[in-house]
Amino acid sequence: MLDKFEEHTKEHGILPKILQRLHDNGRIFAKADPLGNQHSHEISTVAFDAAIREYQNRNGDLSNHEDD
């Protein structure tokens, strides 16, 4: 349905404006920072490698059965 609306109103750019307004209002009510203002925390490749080793050590099992 939104695809049809977007296609029909494309030359006016209505849907992107609606989506931006929804985003802005939702962010304000949630008291969240605007996108791009957050400080990102990078995960090192060492952490990725450790996660892969743990996955392999568990034979591809993603959960700890003791925690279930």
Each residue of 2-15: b (16+ CB within 10 Å) or e?
eeeeeeeeeeeeeb
Write down the pTM of the prediction.
0.45
Q: So what's the pLDDT on residue 43? A: 82
Q: What is the pLDDT of residues 5-16, one digit of tens each?
A: 999 999 999 999
Instruction: Report yes or no on 40 lying in a domain.
Output: no
* Residues 32 and 22: beta-carbon distance below 8 Å: no
Q: So what's the pLDDT on residue 39? A: 66
Instruction: Report yes or no on 50 lying in a domain.
Output: no
Domain range spanning residue 22?
1-34
Instruction: Report yes or no on 8 lying in a domain.
Output: yes
Instruction: Report yes or no on 3 lying in a domain.
Output: yes
pLDDT at residue 2 is higher than 80: yes
Q: What is the pLDDT of residues 19-63, one digit of tens each?
A: 999 988 898 888 887 776 666 678 888 989 999 999 999 888 877
Work out how many domains the chain is built from and give that number.
1
